Chain A
Amino acid sequence: MSVTVRLPTPLRSAVGGERTIEIDASDLTSLQREIAARYPELAARVLRDGAFGRFVTVFVDGEDARFLERNADLSTAKIVEILPAMSGG
């Protein structure tokens, strides 16, 4: 099952300038594994010890991935979004 991953500007150079990439993944764990295997430059920026690092926030159809189980089903997900972790009201 292919998932669309949208990337912010600072990460696009790691995937040849693309805004989005398609990745075969059924859950977050396999998504991380596929990123590591297919996009090592992207992986170097967003993964730490094989998992999304604390300086990025990952959303699955708008839901913060930290609130999802690691094996949460991605098969019905429309889009996965990776953003720098920033906030401040």
Chain B
Amino acid sequence: MTTTLKEITALRGLRCRACGALQPADERYVCGECLGPIEPEYDLDVFETETLRADIERGPASLWRYAPLLPVAAPATHWPVGWTPLIEANRLGDALGIERLYLKDDTRNPTLSFKDRPVAVALARALELGLDTIACASTGNLAGAVAAAAARNGLRAFVFVPADIEPGKIASAAAYGATVVRVKGPYDAVNRLCGRLADEYGWGFVNFTLRPYYAEGSKTVLFECAEQLGWTLPHHIVVPVGSGALLTRQATAANQLRATGLVPESHFHIHAAQPAGCAPVSDAVLDNWRPVEPVRRPETLAKSLAIGAPADGDGSVKIVRDTRGSAASVTDDEIREAATLLATTEGVLVEPAGGVVVATAKQLASRGVFHPGETVVLYLTGNGYKGGPEETALGPVIDADADAFRLAYEEVLA
């Protein structure tokens, strides 16, 4: 299969992270030599820094402004995914004891999670390959992102999810017209089924057969943070870890930003955030950087992070170590408290994974990981409107009467 990719980006090929072999950017999705994970590699020397910076700044208000650093061009049907706000969070910062705190609010993507980013890039590749069906194994957010992208492009979509998923998440996927397949067992069972089906059907499984492209979309979170901070890297980012693809691609993004001269050298640390009920990466980091041990039965409120056997688990541990970062695993109670703190101090409503990130930042701050004057960015990757941290505490229903209001809400008014 020949492609036109090399004409539109600096893509050199797909490099295996395990054996190092450089391979052509064809339909392969794992290394042909060793079955290891393959990632796009770019010839970054082709860029002149100021020209690249100007091109990006002139680009669309979406992740496609970074098209030169992506493995595929924007399709004609692209829509505004990414370019989400980076918000100063002084009230939350005061509560956590972090002086310069920012929120990367990726809850504001078209389907309310960061998954719209990897799907945008995977979809562009699917269109390039002429596929008529896209699919995924999902803990929820990816299902919605795939379903919406398929709808917008007239493709068929199958999304496979654990049967115990939050109804709000699959309701949206179904509304977009996807076939939602609920599978008994944890995410890893869904994943196994999809690995098999990806082999039998010629569909574009975004997180299998399109994975080398899919994962590249996640780089754009850090590209945006750097640009929004005036072309400099934050000192710290706190990243939720499910499969580890988001975390590992932040290191790739930082390397590419530095190599192209878009940002100066500075110290940059990546921290992993996981729920205690499924923390294979955080546990490995905190247990002296040991190899990741899969979790057989994840049990956590943060279902979007309930991946017991993360494909990029060991890669995540290595990157946290290489960047001199750290990790935390937080309980369901800490997750709830943190999500509430975020909502009540900054007006941002997140799914439990966001609570995991805020709770992790709290732990890291109390350990003295962040120093005064350092910028800290929390990655908020999923919106609470799709199924937040349990039912919101609501007050009593009252008659349309002022006295009834005063009586029922006496405590709040005091």
| Interface positions of B (Cβ within 8 A of A) | 18, 28-37, 118, 137-142, 187-189, 191-192, 195-196, 199, 207-208, 211, 214-215, 242-243, 245, 291, 293-294, 296, 304-307, 309-312, 314
Complex Cα–Cα for A86 and B191 (A): 8
Contact present for A88 and B199 (CB under 8 Å): no
**Distance between Cα atoms of A59 and B168 in the complex (Å):** 31
Q: Please report whether the interface of chain B is mostly helix, strand, loop or mixed according to DSSP.
A: loop
Taking the nearest CB of chain A, how far is it from the CB of B284, in angstroms? Answer: 13
Report yes or no: B242 in contact with A89, Cβ–Cβ below 8 A.
yes
A89 to B365, CA, bound (A): 28
Interface residues of A in 3-49 (CB under 8 A from B): 8-11, 44-46
How many A residues touch B, CB cutoff 8 Å? 25
A88 near B192 with CB under 8 A, answer no
Q: Which residue of B lies closest to A19 (CB)?
A: B199
Asked if A9 and B199 make an inter-chain contact with CB atoms under 8 angstroms apart, the answer reads yes
> Which residues from B are CB-within-8-Å of A44?
34
Instruction: List residues 32-85 of chain A with CB under 8 A from any CB of chain B.
Output: 44-46, 53-57, 59, 62, 64, 66-67, 81, 83-85
A54 to B312, CA, bound (A): 11
Please report the C-alpha to C-alpha distance between residue A39 and residue B26 in the assembled complex, in whole angstroms. 27
Report A's interface with B, CB cutoff 8 A.
8-11, 44-46, 53-57, 59, 62, 64, 66-67, 81, 83-89
Nearest Cβ on chain A to B206's Cβ, whole angstroms: 9
| A55 contacts across to B, CB distance below 8 A | 18, 30-31, 34-37
- Closest A residue, CB atoms, query B208: A86
Would you give the shortest CB distance from A59 to chain B, in whole angstroms? 6
Return chain A residues, CB-CB under 8 Å to B189. 62
Q: What residue of chain A has the Cβ atom nearest to residue B312's Cβ?
A: A88
Question: Are A89 and B137 within 8 A (Cβ)?
Answer: yes
Task: Provide the bound-state CA to CA distance between A67 and B188, in Å.
Answer: 13
A15 to B: closest C-beta gap in Å: 14
The answer for the CA separation of A59 and B195 in the assembled complex, in Å, is 11
